[in-house]
A and B are shown apart, each in its own frame.
Chain A
């Protein structure tokens, strides 16, 4: 079946550093989504991307929908302690309603 490869699996960074994570697939998607999950809560949408090549920002977060429609990245600039959590990418196939999820990137910030 379809898979999303999300990397890195985890990141240990210093406060103030920039963060980059990405997802790749062998399948073509028509929507890419980035979610963040805090402990004990459900994932919360950060950024939604609907068009190949689209670059969208949400505060310190920036995400891009790859030109090939098979990949996406998420950047976080000047990380702060509340950025800690697990970040998930998800893609929707052009053919149906299903979302394919990455395995998540766990972000840990060293004080």
Chain B
């Protein structure tokens, strides 16, 4: 158990809908990262937050947005969902200082029908 929690574990929704994925980092970790894992794209970095501020952005679609709250939990919002958004979404967290190891949560499996 990495100490990172994600909810829900599974989500099934229809095209065009909007969903919110939630992540709680390990105790004391200020950085939260979101990754998408799909069969065709592999594991891709989406976005990073550090202590409430956006720190780095990857291949995140404009339909997707994220935020990190004062209690350090993070939410990833996915809107106008398409079939191709079906994937495993992982959240990871890391602490201060080298080696900045990222600990991954159990993931949320999103299925868009």
Genuine A/B complex: no
> Hey, which bits of chain B sit against chain A, CB under 8 A?
none
